Structure 1
Amino acid sequence: MVVFRRAAMRGASSPALLFGVKAALALVSAALAVVLSALTVVSLRIARRVVTPAVRLADTRILSLDTAAQTITLGRTPDTELPGRYGLFTDGTESYVKLGSVLAEDATSVKRKLLTHIGDQTRIAPDAAFSGWYYDQPEELHLPFTPELIGSAVGPCPAWLFPAGDGDVWVIQVHGRGTTRAECLRAVPVFHALGITSLVVSYRNDGEAPRSRTGTYTLGATEWRDVDAAVGFARRRGARRIVLMGWSMGGAIALQLELSSAHRDALAGLILESPVVDWRVVLGYQAKLLRLPSAVTGIAIGALKTEWATPMTGAGAAIPFDRLDVVARASELRHPILILHSDDDGFVPSDASHDLVVARPDLVEMQVFEVARHTKLWNYDQERWSQSIRTWLERQGLTAP
């Protein structure tokens, strides 16, 4: 009798138990769906941000100006505390000021010398953007130049031409993501002194060149064609040997041109400053900086590389990450490459640059910097940066006799 009752009780509880298990599974499934949905939304936002041309954002706080001493005090950040010469985009009566050495610092602020004279009547908003450009306009170099238009598939792309030497050797400079060709002006005097003509170019969707249909980046997969048009322009103007110099994403563009251009016979080498060599490495690093789950990067890359997701990512076409991975394609490289990269870059990690040296030690040389941050190697140590380029060019036989 006791056995019967216990069996009856077990039988009576089975439907309740089954219902409880189903309810728990339903809750878990719902929770997982919410999590996956949230990850997907975040991933698509990241994907869209990657291909959308960046707008300069204020990242620096101006705490005070001393017009008598010509100094400026800034909120302390990893950039504002750097040794060297830099620039600051500002709002007010001055749009851009040059910054000199650090004069004093504490836990929250950094006082720097002003290299742009600031008068007593100057009014500048406290929010500013720190810059490694230093030179903002080509006239500041005090070198002869002409504005040019390079015909490309999307229309005429503005460029600056700085003639030098006999016109036999040219360097074509390619700026990075979210910047303009002014980023490249720092390098022009180095090449000019060596008798090398500089062509500083723009490309689709950078705010100066024409806009593509979608107005978004393809991370080098199509932008290289605009630079290839500049190579053709240089050849028509008499260039016989051409060096490509790419900064950050400009490095990715230059590498795609090296791998795909019909003008490869005219190329003599590449100089890459803080380059993107493999976008997947960069996006993974950026996700870690933002403390995002690794799944976010995977979903974002998956969305960017598929055609069906382009309406959600804003990309005009699927991004060919395999084609943009130059470490994997290292065997296809044909010309010598000089990489200038800091292990403390802080934005584009130097890992893929190191990997490219390992993959092609016969062609790729790397000058490793420390402390200097992304595309600010010239600012941090101008002499070493310039000498590295001069020495490499001399070894390639690209300088004037």
Structure 2
Amino acid sequence: MPKRSNSQPETARRRGLGPTAWTFLGLGIGAAAGSAVAGVIGGLATLFAREVVTPAKEPLEDIDILAVIQTAHGLEVVLPVTEESVKPGTYSLWFDGDRGHARLGEVTKRGVDGTLQRSIITVDKGELSKAKRGRIGGSVYLLPSDVGLEYQDVEVPVSAGKAPAWLIPGTTRQDTWAIMVHGRGTRRLETLRALPTAHAAGMTSLIVSYRNDGEAPDVNNGRYGLGTTEWRDIDSAMAYAIEHGARDIVLFGWSMGGSITLQVADRSQHRTRIQALVLDGPAVNWFDILDHQAKLNKIPYVSGRLGTWLLSHPFGKRITGLTAPLDLRALDWVARAEELRVPTLILHSEDDDFVPFASSAALAAKNPRVVELVRFRTAGHVREWNVDPTRWEDTVANWLESVFTAPVPGMVPAAK
């Protein structure tokens, strides 16, 4: 993979292709149309750019389910030892094309043959004993009732129709609403892990869907906007909350949901209602994420840079399927750190393999008066709760209480 030039300015490296790279590529690889190398570079860039903004149609089942056995402690599943399967904590095991779901507890036994056993807390749906392949996930609950809370199915009016949501009544702080925003490639059930904490704080909770997530209406050719478009649906959710009695709002966001909530705090007509942000493994700088993902997937540097350019330039619309280019600068909250004025808690694992931890650390370092960063280890991407739910819940509960009882004067988004 080509290495970055130390002499290339940082802004050029992070924002897109520089003049030298464009000379080599021939402004769209036109001048090198006959070159096999240029074809490979352009092809990888195209695939990379499309992958970033296109929701996956089928879940990837990447782990063998070797057996389900009865032990003295109850049912257990036998899995191969992988980086994911060996992690401590509680997880989901999806199978049968996500039509089946089980909740897994801790590892109970690790064999010398490269396998391990995990306890099965419950099988929510499907026949796990017949499954051959599956995937491990962080969304351990399917409905608010799984955490013992009553809820209503409601619909939030959005630009393209109605977005389904779950509404959970509050107690001591009913007029403070927690609006929970899931991440890329998941659905609203991802956020249920935080519901008991929000409920214990007395807040009303609204767990929402948004455009192109498989539940809310599709918009913009079904492509992700990485936060630049989705925030409008969360703005609509805030309007719904205010119409139904919300005085203040706390936004929770996971991964791309963090990017979305930051846009809401910056651009929403209701932004002065936002009392706090709670972000888990948030996407605070898409330049760094795209760089990281290109390296992780062994995409050549030039292809990764070209892919980023395709996402952010009008020319790329024909290739990516986007209806408008993405303003990646608006999503760079490391560069915009001083513009963030809402008290923000970030929970992020240092070994996150999707969203670089360094971006969260840089944001917190640049604006420590507003942003508090809590480090986790061994959790990977947005599974901090799964690895250590007690620490996650206590951290969020204590921080929220400090915001509720002693808010910092003047920390509201600046008027546009």
Percent of pairs identical after alignment? 41
Which residue of structure 2 aligns with residue 108 of structure 1? Answer: 114
Is 1:291 aligned to 2:298, yes or no?
yes
Residues 364 and 118 of structure 1: CA distance in aligned 2, closer, same or farther (over 3 Å): closer
Which residue of structure 2 aligns with residue 91 of structure 1? Answer: 96
In structure 1, what is the Cα distance between the partners aligned to 2:260 and 2:124?
A: 38
1:145-188 CA-partner distances (Å, limit 9, x unpaired):
10111111121111101111241211100000000000001110
C-alpha contact 1:93 1:124 (8 A) present in aligned 2: no
Alignment of 1:157-172 (within 5 A): 157-165=163-171, 166-172=173-179
Instruction: Choose from 253, 256, 264 the match for 1:257.
Output: 264
Which residue of structure 2 aligns with residue 3 of structure 1? Answer: none
Structure 1: which amino acid aligns with 2:387?
Y
Instruction: Choose from 234, 241, 259 the match for 2:241.
Output: 234
Alignment of 1:51-62 (within 5 A): 51-54=53-56, 55-62=58-65
Task: With the length of structure 2 as denominator, give the TM-score of the two structures.
Answer: 0.85
Equivalenced residue count is 370
- Which consecutive aligned stretches of 4+ in structure 1 deviate over 4 angstroms post-superposition? 29-32
Question: What's the CA shift for 1:33?
Answer: 2.3
Instruction: Choose from 347, 353, 371 the match for 1:364.
Output: 371
Structure 1: which amino acid aligns with 2:268?
S
In structure 1, what is the Cα distance between the partners aligned to 2:130 and 2:323?
A: 39
Alignment of 1:206-245 (within 5 A): 206-245=213-252
Residues 93 and 237 of structure 1: CA distance in aligned 2, closer, same or farther (over 3 Å): closer
Ranges in structure 1 where 5+ consecutive residues have no aligned partner? 1-28
Structure 2: which amino acid aligns with 1:91?
D
Structure of larger gyration radius: 1
Alignment of 1:111-122 (within 5 A): 111-116=117-122
Ranges in structure 2 where 5+ consecutive residues have no aligned partner? 1-30, 407-416
Residues 349 and 118 of structure 1: CA distance in aligned 2, closer, same or farther (over 3 Å): closer
Which residue of structure 1 aligns with residue 413 of structure 2? Answer: none
In structure 2, what is the Cα distance between the partners aligned to 1:297 and 1:376?
A: 27
Residues 228 and 61 of structure 1: CA distance in aligned 2, closer, same or farther (over 3 Å): same
Question: What's the CA shift for 1:118?
Answer: 9.6
Which residue of structure 2 aligns with residue 34 of structure 1? Answer: 36
1:342-373 CA-partner distances (Å, limit 9, x unpaired):
00111111111001001111100000001111
Which residue of structure 2 aligns with residue 128 of structure 1? Answer: 134
Residues 322 and 92 of structure 1: CA distance in aligned 2, closer, same or farther (over 3 Å): closer
Instruction: Choose from 67, 78, 83 the match for 1:78.
Output: 83
Structure 2: which amino acid aligns with 1:156?
K
C-alpha contact 2:103 2:122 (8 A) present in aligned 1: yes
Q: What SS is found at the alignment partner of 2:47?
A: helix
C-alpha contact 2:167 2:206 (8 A) present in aligned 1: yes
Question: What's the CA shift for 1:108?
Answer: 2.4
Q: What SS is found at the alignment partner of 2:183?
A: coil
Question: What's the CA shift for 1:122?
Answer: 5.7
Structure 1: which amino acid aligns with 2:45?
S
Which residue of structure 2 aligns with residue 11 of structure 1? Answer: none
In structure 2, what is the Cα distance between the partners aligned to 1:208 and 1:252?
A: 19
Structure 2: which amino acid aligns with 1:322?
R
Is 1:326 aligned to 2:329, yes or no?
no
Task: With the length of structure 1 as denominator, give the TM-score of the two structures.
Answer: 0.88
Residues 265 and 130 of structure 1: CA distance in aligned 2, closer, same or farther (over 3 Å): same
